[in-house]
Structure 1
Amino acid sequence: MFYRPADGHGLPHNPFNALITPRPIGWISTRDVQGRDNLAPYSFFNGVAYEPPQVMFATTSAKEDRDGMKDSASLIQETGVFCVNVVGFEMRDAMNASSAALPAGDDEFLHAGLIKAECNDINCPRVANAPAALECRLTKMMQLPGQANTVVFGEVIGVHMRDDCMVDGMFDATKYQPLARMGYRDYAKIDEVFTLARPDD
């Protein structure tokens, strides 16, 4: 099968997300200037640079109570900071609950039954028992073609790692089984890891 996205695919559901898998989930926490907290998962997320360490995530729709974007992007535009919380398999239900389209100002931490912790260097909450959390400062926000496509880039200025995920001085993802987004409503957990030496090692 071949299709041109501009012409449509003719299938019951859009296959695009199912073609780019697995995708890590950036569980983005923010706080507005009034002190209200927000949390939402984004599967258009990844690391984009080592030095200095940088990440990105993209939002692809808008809310009626925000000006052309989602809560997360709007609050980051307002405050200039955010935190990326790493999602483990055991947190799948809370992550899913935090994706609910709640009214602006409602707290997804409370909605999902999550415990908060404060970040060290930015005024932002984080998921207290997440395997890792990345404190970020906004570096760039870009509008992409389309109705409400926004990409947010941030520099990682602080890193939290859960002690039980550290093994022999390395962060070991097998300790928490990373959750990944597949297509449609499908997810995967990473529970098998193997190592490949690079040709120039």
Structure 2
Amino acid sequence: MFYRTEDDHGLKHNPFNAIVVPRPIGWITSQDREGRVNLAPYSFFNGVAYHPPQVVYASTGAPDKQAGLKDSIGNIRETGEFAVNIVTWDLREAMNMTAVAAPHGVDEYEVAGLTKAPCEVISCPRVGESPVTFECKLVKVVDLLSTDEASPNRLVVGHVVAIHIADDVIADGIVDIAKLAPISRLGYRDYGRVGDVFSMVRPDWPIGDREK
């Protein structure tokens, strides 16, 4: 099939986010100037730079936009900081609870039964149950193309200034991805978790005769 994205695709659901997979989940903690905390998952999330380490997440203007997710960018703009908690298999249900369209001011930590653990560099808390958390300072908020001014698409860029890693997911000096057991967002209502892992060594140049 072929369709232009401004036209109806004719399928039961939008195939776009079912094709761009798997997507890491950024479980974003933020708080406003009064200390009211917001916790929300974002599946348009990734790392984008090594030196200094930086991450991005996007708040998208979907028609079924959940009210609670709008609080994150407002809080981050106010305070200039946020935490990214990694979602694992054991935390899947708690993460899903924090995706609820809760009214402004509702504490998602309490809704999901999660622990507010202190960060070291920034003032907002992290998810105590998450084995990995990035403490981030805001770099910029970028306005993206949007079809509805009332529900804009925005990209948040954060500088990772500190990282928490639970000792029990480290083995032989590296993060053991099987022990970490992160989950990812797929399309529709689907999720995935790390299963088969394989390694490949990047070739040196010149590559040589591949037929030998």
Give the TM-score normalised by structure 1: 0.94
Number of the residue aligned with 1:19: 19
- Please state if 1:109 is matched with 2:109: yes
Map 1:124-135 → 2, pairs under 5 A: 124-135=124-135
Map 1:87-106 → 2, pairs under 5 A: 87-106=87-106
Number of the residue aligned with 1:172: 176
Q: Select the structure of larger CA radius of gyration.
A: 2
- Please state if 1:51 is matched with 2:55: no
Residue type at the aligned position of 2:9: H
Residue type at the aligned position of 2:122: I
Percent of residue pairs bearing the same amino acid type: 53
Q: Please, what is the CA RMSD of the aligned residues?
A: 1.7
| Equivalent in 178, 194, 198 of residue 198 of structure 2 | 194
* Unaligned ranges ≥5, structure 1: none
Please tell me whether the aligned partners of residues 129 and 162 of structure 1 are also in contact (alpha carbons under 8 angstroms).
no
- Helix, strand or coil for the counterpart of 1:7? coil
For these two proteins, the number of residue pairs brought into alignment is: 199
Please tell me whether the aligned partners of residues 67 and 102 of structure 2 are also in contact (alpha carbons under 8 angstroms).
no
How many Å separate the matches in 2 of 1:154 and 1:198? 29
- How far the C-alpha of 1:200 sits from its partner, in A, is 2.7
- How far the C-alpha of 1:65 sits from its partner, in A, is 7.0
How many Å separate the matches in 2 of 1:107 and 1:65? 13
How many Å separate the matches in 2 of 1:194 and 1:164? 22
* Unaligned ranges ≥5, structure 2: 206-212
Please tell me whether the aligned partners of residues 131 and 180 of structure 2 are also in contact (alpha carbons under 8 angstroms).
yes
How many Å separate the matches in 2 of 1:64 and 1:86? 21
Residue type at the aligned position of 1:173: I
How many Å separate the matches in 2 of 1:12 and 1:65? 25
How many Å separate the matches in 2 of 1:70 and 1:91? 22
- Dislocated runs of 4+, deviation >4 Å: 62-66
Please tell me whether the aligned partners of residues 58 and 151 of structure 1 are also in contact (alpha carbons under 8 angstroms).
yes
How many Å separate the matches in 2 of 1:132 and 1:191? 19
Q: What are the Cα deviations for residues 3-58 of structure 1, in whole angstroms up to 9, with x where unaligned?
A: 11111211121111001000000000011111111100000000000000000000
- How far the C-alpha of 1:61 sits from its partner, in A, is 2.8
- How far the C-alpha of 1:64 sits from its partner, in A, is 9.1
Number of the residue aligned with 1:150: 154
- Call closer, same or farther: CA 1:23–1:64 in 2, change over 3 Å: closer
- Call closer, same or farther: CA 1:79–1:20 in 2, change over 3 Å: same
Q: What are the Cα deviations for residues 145-197 of structure 1, in whole angstroms up to 9, with x where unaligned?
A: 11310100000000000110011111111102110000011000112211111
Please tell me whether the aligned partners of residues 136 and 158 of structure 1 are also in contact (alpha carbons under 8 angstroms).
yes
How many Å separate the matches in 1 of 2:171 and 2:204? 25
- Call closer, same or farther: CA 1:40–1:145 in 2, change over 3 Å: same
